[in-house]
Amino acid sequence: MGCNAHEFMDEDNPRAQGEANKKKALVWTYNWGFTTPSLLQLLLQHAGMSWANGAVKQGWMRKTGMTARERVRVLTLTEKGLAWVEQRSDQLLKYSELDPHRISPVTIWHNLLAQKLTLHAARRGEIKSFMTERVLATKSAQGTKQPDVVWFTREGERIAVEVELTAKWDRRLDDFVGRTIAALSEGEDGQRPRFDRFEILTTSRAIARRYGEAFRPGTSLRVWRDTTKGAATLSHLIEVPDWVHQKVSFRMISDDGRILTGTDDAKPSSADGDAAAAAD
């Protein structure tokens, strides 16, 4: 993914190259659920727009106009494309996007931004592989909350990435902080934490600042439990541990999926909660 297109083009065997492009594009769409022609252009590093048009004409993919934050043309697999991928996959995923209109408009921009961030990170050589939320779900206990994507570095580090475009409040924020701390903590029997670090990426400076304050070491964190009647009640309070500032980072991102600030500028600080604002 991080090479120039000409470095993997096999000019003597265009048919083999076409199959390689098809596999890369269809598997990418299968793992994420949907994508766009411009993202496939980044993925294939050449005329991805024309490739996408050809895939639609040949019945591998379906193009649907949908409205997220703006009008966008979304690509999903057809029955033909899904069958092609499943016949070549070791791990089957539940693919609900055969009917594109089942995709929630609320999730479209969020998902596409996670794809852009992953592609840019791979192009910069920062990661060697990744797992999407739906792939992670097949490897976790049922009901386990998954990050948006996990990036694996060449050094073996597992970075859980959360794209936050709207602020969480009250119990949702408390649960988010608590789940993040739990995923970074060793198990009761000394099992390795699920992840080594969390990157919380947002387009909003206010969200970065607010979350940074919630993750600040020593901050009181409310732990909730559900009652038999389905209501939520406060169980107890804990403190955000001191080591969190070393493992949770906040970074500002652009709408086109580019990181605008470095990790060191955005870590929650026990001395100054405003450090989480992730200034440029």
Q: Where in the chain is CATH 1.10.10.10?
A: 5-103
Q: In 10 A of CB 68, how many CB atoms? A: 18
- In tens, the pLDDT along 77-117 reads 999 999 999 999 999 999 999 999 999 998 999 999 999 99
Q: So what's the pLDDT on residue 273?
A: 36
pLDDT score of 55 more than 50 = yes
Which candidate, 77, 69, 159, 97, places its Cα nearest to that of 122?
Answer: 159
What residues pair up with 77 in beta bridges, in sequence order? 61
State which amino acid sits at residue 72. Answer: V
Q: Which residue has the tokens 């490897």?
A: 139
**Cβ-contact 153, 127 below 8 angstroms:** yes
Collapsing DSSP to helix, strand or coil, 113 comes out as helix
Q: What is the DSSP string of 172-204?
A: HHHHHHHHHHHHHSPPTT-PPPS-SEEEEEES-
Q: So what's the pLDDT on residue 45?
A: 82
What is the assigned CATH class of domain 5-103? mainly alpha
State which amino acid sits at residue 45. Answer: Q
Overall pTM surpassing 0.75 (yes/no) = yes
Q: So what's the pLDDT on residue 76?
A: 98
Q: Taking residues 107-132, report their average pLDDT.
A: 95
Q: So what's the pLDDT on residue 261?
A: 72
- In tens, the pLDDT along 239-266 reads 999 999 999 999 999 988 999 975 444 4
Which H/E stretch holds residue 216?
none
φ, ψ (nearest 5 deg) of residue 51: -65, -45
Confidence band for 275, pLDDT divided at 50, 70 and 90: very low
